[in-house]
Chains A and B, each alone.
Chain A
Amino acid sequence: MKKTPLYERHLALGATMTEFGGWAMPVQYTSVIDEHRNTRTLAGLFDVCHMGEIDVRGPQALELLQWVMSRDLARQQIGEMKLSAITTEKGGIIDDVTVYKRGDEQYMVVTNAATREGDLAWILKAKEARGLDKAVVTDCSDTLGKVDIQGPLAQKILEEIVEGDLAALRFYHAMDTRVAGMHALVSRSGYTGEDGFEVYTEAGRIGEIWDLLMSIGDPHGLKPAGLGARDTLRLEAGMMLFGHEMCQTVTPYEVIYGWITDLDKEFIGRDALKKQKEEGVRRKLVGFEIVDRGIARHGYRVLAGGEKIGEVTSGTFSPTLGKAIGLAFVPVQYKEPGTELEVEIRNQRAKAKVVALPFYRRRK
């Protein structure tokens, strides 16, 4: 298992460790619920060094990314960040990534941990096939470290050690700046449904930023949060996780990524997706809550009229709502909020109903 530069710090904090995407990662330090609530009400600090970063630059960088990404990046401004899917020729999702435009002809693609190598190979293959010699693709994952600081007090805490006007940084925008004197990239974004930031710096120095945030954040109530809380936070916010909601046999239209699929430009998978959009999808990802008792989990069967109609992709107990929630694929005729379903939990059927996403929306 690979270790992030913060591994020893997690052990020192007494974290329970687990394997995730080939990495040894903290699941929780004290309690998933405490870390979840602390992030919703104050601030949480997350080690996300396991994620991949691929640098794409040169005169043909945009042409390559336009061919690989479902999202139209033609009008992306420097400092702007875009969520995008990478799809197969058939429109299946290879990964969901964020694309940062860092300068003219300079981009950074941030991938999931387990998909990093596949994404890199895919992008390189596309570059070869299109003969885009003037696009330079470099995997920077091992040289870059990343922490997320999330929650209503994130800005207040990070402001103390970041150069520049953090308050002026807009959602899904990034700035090249200095954090604690070190060169860093900071974006207002995250995976929790709260306000917050993603902070990138060189891997060898990410520990210094972690330590500083932990100490200056302490009086504000900042606490480290593990993958357990990261998962419940993202699920409440209606965000999807690659490997659960998405894989290569799922298309953007079947999940909730129609809005990042720009059919007006050409990209790998565009024709298949255009056809699917015209014909309409047969199944759709929906949010549901359990009406009876019990908690739905990944892989549990979804029933209607006693027949299996779908499967749960993610399910948990929502600490904020105090009830069991989840995401599931169902045939489109069952997708409307209010539709009654059943989930099979250990051979018993629990009543569930489709609800609108997200489950949780922060007050602004």
Chain B
Amino acid sequence: MAKPSPHDRKYTKEHEWAKADGAGTITMGITDHAQELLTDVVYVELPAVGRKVTQAQPIAVVESVKSVSDIFAPVSGEVVEVNQALEATPELVNKDAFGEGWIARIRMESPAELDGLMTAEQYEEHIKSNPH
């Protein structure tokens, strides 16, 4: 069973989470539900720091043994930091998707985009009605 989705952040239908850090930036990653579906994350392709990203457009790639999955930016903005630890230990995404398995930090263009994402309750409801 997936870990409960924390209430301190917002969620996308594509199973990303975004957590406001204050100072106009968010940290993002994929949800525990998403890592359970992927299993065995063996490679994460991180975006370059400084890259401009657009909401709902690809920002990273996560590969399991069997599959290649695009990860989408939960908000538009600029990548200000990436989780370098994933280069050597991609399995952090499986072990701690909501914590040490974070993927990138983005400086938001428009904080309204974050407000428009799903709450933890809405996301849990979403995965209940769309289990895959």
Q: Which residues of A contact B (CB under 8 A)?
A: 27-28, 30-33, 36, 228, 231-232, 293-295, 297, 316-317, 319, 324, 346
A28 and B63 form a contact (CB under 8 A) = no
Q: Is B128 an interface residue (CB 8 A)?
A: no
> Do B63 and A32 touch across chains, with their CB atoms under 8 A apart?
no
| Contact between B66 and A294, CB atoms less than 8 A apart | no
CB distance from A290 to the nearest CB of B (A): 10
Partner of B61, one of A30, A31, A346: A346
**Nearest A residue to B87 by beta-carbon distance?**
A293
Would you call B39 an interface residue if the criterion is a C-beta within 8 Å of the partner chain's C-beta atoms? yes
- Most chain B Cβ neighbours within 10 Å, of A28, A30, A295, A297: A295
Asked if B65 is at the interface of the complex by the 8 Å CB criterion, the answer is yes
Across-interface contacts of B43 in A (CB, < 8 A): 293-295, 317, 324
| B66 contacts across to A, CB distance below 8 A | 27-28, 32, 228, 231, 316
Choice from B39, B61, B68, B87 contacting A32 with Cβ under 8 Å: B39
Q: How distant is B82 from chain A, measured CB to nearest CB, in Å?
A: 14
Most buried by A among B43, B64, B65: B65
Query: Contacts of B87 on A, CB cut-off 8 Å?
Result: 293
Give chain B interface residues in 60-108, CB to chain A under 8 Å: 61, 63-66, 68, 87
Q: Which 4 A-B pairs have the closest CB atoms?
A: A317-B42, A32-B65, A33-B40, A31-B39
Tell which of A293, A317, A346 touches B65, judged by Cβ atoms closer than 8 Å.
A317
Is B45 positioned at the interface, with any CB of A under 8 Å from its CB?
yes
- By beta carbon, the residue of chain B nearest A319 is B65
* B-chain residues with CB within 8 Å of residue A32 when the two chains form the complex: 39-40, 64-66
Contact yes or no, B42 A295, CB < 8 A: yes
Does the CB pair A295–B63 fall under 8 Å? yes
Interface centre among B42, B45, B66, B87, by most A CB within 10 Å? B66
Given A31-B40, A32-B39, A294-B43, CB of A316 within 8 Å of CB of B68: no
Smallest CB gap from A228: residue in B: B66
B45 close to A294 (CB less than 8 A): yes
Q: Is the interface of A mostly helix, strand, loop or mixed?
A: mixed
Residue of B39, B45, B61, B65 touching A316 (CB-CB under 8 A): B65
Contact indicator A28/B42 (Cβ below 8 Å): no
CB distance from A314 to the nearest CB of B (A): 12
Residues in B with CB closer than 8 Å to A316 are: 65-66
| Closest Cβ neighbor of B39 among chain A residues | A31
Instruction: A33 to B41: give the CA distance in the assembly, Å.
Output: 10
Could you say which residues of chain B place their CB within 8 Å of the CB of A36? 65
- Give the CA-CA distance A284 to B30 in the complex, in Å: 41
A294 to B62 Cα, complex, angstroms: 10
A232 touches B45 (CB 8 A): no
Interface code B33-54, partner A: CB below 8 Å = 1, 0 otherwise?
A: 0000001101101000000000
Q: How far is the CA of A153 from the CA of B45 in the complex (A)?
A: 38
Residues of A within 8 A of B63 (CB): 295, 317
| Given A32-B65, A297-B68, 19 further pairs, Cβ under 8 A | A27-B66, A28-B39, A28-B66, A30-B39, A31-B40, A32-B39, A32-B40, A32-B66, A33-B40, A33-B65, A228-B65, A228-B66, A293-B43, A294-B45, A295-B42, A316-B65, A317-B42, A317-B63, A346-B61
| Closest beta carbon of chain B to A346's beta carbon, Å | 7
B118 to chain A, nearest CB (A): 25
Report how far A147 CA is from B6 CA in the complex, Å: 44
Give A36 to B64 CA distance when docked, in angstroms. 14
How many angstroms between the C-alpha atoms of A36 and B65 in the bound complex? 11
Kindly report which residue of chain A lies nearest to residue B132, judged by CB atoms: A16
Considering the chains assembled together, what is the distance between the CA atoms of A324 and B63 in angstroms? 11
Within the complex, the shortest CB–CB distance from B43 to chain A, in Å, comes to 5
In the complex, 6 of the A-B residue pairs with CB atoms within 8 angstroms, ordered by the A residue number, are: A28-B66, A30-B39, A231-B66, A293-B43, A294-B43, A346-B45
Q: Within the assembled complex, what's the spacing in Å between the Cα atoms of A217 and B42?
A: 29
Given the complex, which residues of A lie within 8 Å of B65, measured CB to CB? Answer: 32-33, 36, 228, 232, 316-317, 319
Chain A proximity of B120: nearest CB distance (Å): 26
Complexed CA–CA distance, A184 and B45 (Å): 48
Smallest beta-carbon distance A84→chain B, Å: 30
A30 surroundings in chain B (CB, below 8 A): 39
